[in-house]
């Protein structure tokens, strides 16, 4: 579904990604892992068009995304749920969802889509009229993901969804992520600091260090890898 081939990215004069390559297969959850500063968020921003690689290519369903506007990339079927949620704090739950549907061509089926995300996250239905800033951290993260679903993505990019949440809420959230993949058929590229948790739900993983891919493989293989066990799992 997604092919990242040899991309290199700079912030000004500082290079962050170095010849990064990996692919995301249709229907899977791929975990993009690594320490802080490894280039994970930069990768997601490059895919969605917020950053422009100075070399390499990114293809989605065979289409080269080079030079495309973020708005048009979203319309192709990619949605980013950013780190920190980035909700509209003084808009209601429903209004935030409507903002997420802005890129849907023709505007049809919006009410049906709202009902669909309420089925996935039923707590949001009860909070429909509340301002986003009054929600708990877990509810805000649910809303951020629900807003991302409103554009009907084929590929969902999740950046640190567990950040700042209680263990119980993290468990519920990751159960919902698995349902999105298994029941809704949405392919997911997951960036997550909790390597053990990410590999539990992901089919495969890619590990970045210093802006370079250092390891990739099936989740079960990575869990058994000495590098992963020592550096990330503390075993």
pLDDT of residue 69: 94
Q: Are 218 and 229 in contact (CB under 8 A)?
A: no
Q: What residues in the chain have per-residue pLDDT under 50?
A: none
The strand pairing partners of 8, in sequence order, are: 55
Residue 103 pLDDT = 67
Q: Tell me what pLDDT residue 9 has.
A: 97
- Per the CB < 8 A criterion, the answer to whether 211 and 56 are in contact is no
- What is the dihedral angle through the alpha carbons of 143, 144, 150, 153, rounded to the nearest 10 degrees? -140
Other CB atoms within a 10 A radius of the CB of residue 69 amount to: 10
> How high is the pLDDT of residue 7?
97
From 153, 21, 1, 19, select the one nearest 63 (Cα to Cα): 1
pTM greater than 0.75: yes
Q: Are 7 and 44 in contact (CB under 8 A)?
A: no
**What pLDDT is attached to residue 3?**
98
Q: What is the pLDDT of residue 107?
A: 52
CA separation for the pair 143, 132 (Å, rounded) = 8
Contact 29, 202 (CB under 8 A): yes
What is the distance of C-alpha 31 from the center of its chain?
9
Domains and CATH numbers, the chain: 2-77+153-231 (3.40.50.300), 89-152 (no CATH)
Torsion over CA: 191, 182, 95, 169 (sign): negative
Q: What is the pLDDT of residue 234?
A: 58
């Amino acid at each position: 579904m997604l092919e990242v081939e040899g991309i290199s990215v700079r912030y000004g004069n500082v290079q962050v990604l170095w010849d990064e390559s990996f692919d995301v297969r249709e229907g899977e959850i791929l975990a993009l892992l690594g320490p802080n500063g490894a280039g994970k968020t930069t990768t997601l921003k490059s895919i969605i068009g917020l950053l422009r690689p100075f070399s390499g290519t990114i293809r989605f369903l065979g289409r080269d995304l080079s030079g495309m506007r973020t708005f048009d990339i979203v319309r192709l079927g990619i949605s980013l749920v950013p780190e920190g949620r980035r909700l509209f704090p003084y808009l209601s739950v429903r209004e935030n969802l409507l903002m997420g549907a802005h890129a849907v061509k023709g505007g049809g089926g919006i009410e049906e889509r709202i009902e669909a995300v309420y089925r996935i996250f039923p707590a949001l239905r009860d909070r429909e009229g509340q301002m986003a800033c009054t929600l708990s951290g877990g509810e805000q993260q649910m809303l951020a993901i629900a807003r991302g679903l409103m554009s009907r993505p084929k590929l969902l990019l999740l950046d640190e969804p567990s950040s700042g949440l209680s263990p119980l809420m993290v468990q519920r959230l990751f159960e919902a992520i698995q349902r999105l993949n298994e029941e809704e058929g949405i392919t997911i590229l997951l960036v997550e600091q909790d390597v053990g948790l990410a590999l539990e739900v992901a089919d495969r993983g890619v590990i970045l260090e210093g802006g370079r891919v250092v390891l990739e493989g099936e989740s079960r293989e990575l869990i058994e890898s000495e590098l992963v066990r020592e550096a990330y799992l503390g075993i």
